[in-house]
Amino acid sequence: MSDDFNMSMRKFLKQVGVTSQQAIEKAVREADSSDGKTFKVKAVVTIEELGMEHVVTGEIEG
């Protein structure tokens, strides 16, 4: 794979990470009571042109 491809992919993944963290933090702040709670979380990355879907699941402790 080319350097341009790798840089473009890293830029996209950084954007996903940063914007997802901001969205999660905002949702937790706006929740009435999140202290001590555990939230199930799922991230899905798709590339329609390649027929690819990648799912990551986990938990975030509040």
In this prediction, residue 28 carries a pLDDT of: 87
Please tell me the predicted confidence (pLDDT) of residue 11. 98
Q: What is the 3-state secondary structure (H, E, C) of 39-60?
A: EEEEEEEEEHHHCEEEEEEEEE
Instruction: In whole angstroms, give the CA distance from residue 14 to residue 6.
Output: 12
Q: Please give the Cα distance from 12 to 45 (Å, whole number).
A: 11
Predicted TM-score of the model (pTM): 0.81
Tell me the average confidence (pLDDT) per consecutive run of 10 residues in the chain, 62 residues long.
94 98 91 83 97 97 81
Residue spans per domain, the chain: 3-61
Write out the two tokens for 56.
């990551």
Q: For residue 34, what pLDDT is reported?
A: 73
d(CA 2, CA 6): 6
- Cα separation, 42 vs 25, in Å, equals 15
